Structure formats: C-alpha cells, structure tokens
Amino acid sequence: MDYTAREYWHGIIKMCLSRFFILRVLYTQPMHGYQIARTVAEVTRGCCTPTEGTIYPVLREFEEGGYVTSTIETAGGRERKVYTLTPKGQEAFRVAVEAWREVTDYIWEAIEMHENNNEREGSCCSMQNSNSCCCGLPAPGSPEKTAGQELETSPATLYSRRAIDIEFLYLDLDSCTRCRGTERNLEEALNEVAGVLQATGIKVNLKKIHVQTEEQALALGFVSSPTIRINGRDIQLDVRESLCESCGDLCGEDVDCRVWVYQGREYTEAPKGMIIEAILKHVYGGEKEAPAPKEPLKELPENLKRYFAAKLRKEA
C-alpha cells in the first residue's frame, strides 16, 4: 500500500463520503437509484460519482437497516425502485453531519499546521523565541500582528463562523396565494433542515422583504415575485411567469407571478424540496462563492411596471 499516492487517499475519501451523500440527497426528497447517483455527482462536483455497482449495495444495506424504504413505480413502461429516507435515516444523516463536522475541524487544523510549517521553512523564521522570530516579526501562526499588518484568519476559524443569508422578496402576502405558499414552504424547509444546520454550526439569517415601490424594486434588482435568494443569488436563475389571478384582483390589472421549475415540473409555489436542495447545496455542495453584491436595475420588467402603476391608481 502506497500511502504517498494521492489516488489512495482519493479512494478512501470517496468511499467514506458516498454513504454520507446518499443520505444527504435523500434528505431532500425520494429518488430512484440513477437519480441518486446523478445528484450525488452534481452536489459533489464530481468528487463522488457512484455507479450502479456501488450505489445499489449501499441502498440495500440502508433498506435492511431501516434507514430507507422503497416502492415500485412505473415510468415509460419500466419499473423502478424509488427510495425514501425514514425517520431513522434522517437521524442517521444528522449524526453523520455532526461526526463529519468534528472530522472537518481536525482536517482544517492539520491544513493550518501544514501551511504554517511551510511558511516557516520558506522564511527566515525557522528560529523562534516564544511568539517572536529571529527577524523580530511575529512567528507564523502567532496571534500577534505587526503595526499595520493583519494576520489572516485561519481556515478553522472561518469554518466556525459560517452563515448563510436567505432573502424572501415578495409583492403581497395578504392576497397573493403564490407569495403566501412560497413563504410557507420556505419556513417548513428551514424547519426541516434546522437540526442539520445547527449540527454543522451554520447560522441562517432570514430576511423577508416586502417590495412596495418601483424605486425599491430597482434598488433590490427585483425582477419577479416571489423571489428567494441565498447569499444574494436567486435559487432559480431562469425567470418564468404566468398569470396570477390573486394579484390581478389586488391591483385591478393582469399581473404575472413566478413559476418554479423543479425536477422537470412547473409549480406556482416554490417546492419545499427545491428550497431544501438549494440550502444544502450552499452548505455541502461546494458553493464557496462570496455573497453576490446587489445590482440595481436600470429598468423594471413591464410586468412589474404595470403592477405598481395599477396599485398607485387603486390607492389614489
């Protein structure tokens, strides 16, 4: 066994993570085997790519242990097994998250130690006296800092400070059934993943924004109602809309509201599974981008112009 071979460690990591990510994708919704394998590959960006030969033995093991149940569905004239996570499976995922968090903390510490050692070897600061080096500067990894020089925050510290910002932007919660339904599904989705997020030390900052004027909509970059953003990014980049009768009754004008596309189907309210999947992608799926800056619009879509104009006329 060659422990200096990167392929060895890649294999060990993938073997350990495959069970974790199978539980993770089933946590969002029931899926059949091929769909599970494809989703695991997507959320891990190709790090874990389970095949039929590896995924079905794990699913049988999960089913025998009571972590998943399966039902037979017929699609396109073919029968296939659809797997659903049981309460025992959900608990297993929560425990796995806690365990992986501990391991990840240790890994970050090892990375930080390795990087600090490299810094020492590559500088004059190989001889240390307490927190000072031979050059008189603080030693690499020292909590001290020189005048005008901030030390970088360690990866372990950054990991422990993680948070996600979720914004729910809407036109009306009194009359619009789509806004109310999406708000309800968002709150239910957050309740379902609360235990997992808490176990990983992730804080959720939820902000609900009632968009009431054209100026506010322009400043927020608001193009369709309702909208859900995670760290400034819309969970559905492709904007589709259809006639919303409740908003039309509210302002006395034909108004379109958002249509959500998930798993090949259209919904008038953001599906709970879609929201959960978007949250977990940001947490576990490699979404490392910095929060997107708000980009004001130069001009509103005609649909929103019509809505605000009709609303002003009705209120006058």
Question: 107-140 burial, b for 16+ CB within 10 Å, e for fewer?
Answer: ebeeeeeeeeeeebeeeebeeeeeeebeeebbbb
Residues 52 and 96 in one domain: no
Give the pLDDT score at 213: 92
3-class state of residue 81 by DSSP: strand
* Domain coverage including residue 80: 6-85
| Other beta carbons within 10 Å of 49 | 15
Integer Rg of the chain from CA: 25
Task: Give pLDDT, residue 64.
Answer: 94
- CATH number, domain at 65? 1.10.10.10
Does 219 map to a domain?
A: yes
Question: Could you report the per-residue pLDDT of 26-38, keeping only the tens digit for each?
Answer: 988 899 988 898 8
Q: Are residues 124 and 79 in the same domain?
A: no
- What residue has token string 């130690």? 113
Sign (positive or negative) of CA dihedral 198, 200, 203, 206:
negative
Taking only the tens place, the pLDDT of each residue in 262-282 is 988 999 999 999 999 999 888
Kindly state whether residue 224 falls inside one of the protein's structural domains. yes
| Residue 39, pLDDT score | 86
Q: Tell me, what DSSP letter sits at residue 138?
A: B
Are 192 and 309 members of one domain? yes
pLDDT in the model for residue 76: 76
Q: What is the pLDDT of residue 123?
A: 53
DSSP state of 20: H
Q: For residues 137 and 179, state if they share a domain.
A: no
Residues in the chain with pLDDT values less than 50: 125-151, 153-160, 287
Give the CA angle between residues 164, 166, 168 to the nearest 5°: 180
Whether residues 202 and 309 fall in one domain: yes
Pair (229, 271) in one structural domain: yes
Same domain, 209 and 301: yes
- Mean pLDDT for all residues in the chain: 81
Q: What is the pLDDT of residue 187?
A: 94
- 126 and 211 belong to one structural domain: no
Last residue of a domain, one of 61, 85, 109: 85
User: Contact 5/62 with Cβ under 8 angstroms?
Assistant: no
Based on the fold, state whether residues 139 and 62 are members of the same structural domain: no
- Structural domains counted in the chain: 3
Q: Is residue 1 part of a domain?
A: no
**pLDDT (0 to 100) of residue 122:** 57
| CATH code for the domain in which residue 300 is found | 3.40.30.10
- Output the pLDDT for position 141: 47
Distance CA 135, CA 146 (A): 12
Alpha carbon distance 90, 192 (integer Å):
10
Residues 166 and 277 in one domain: yes
Asked whether the whole model's pTM tops 0.75, one would answer: no
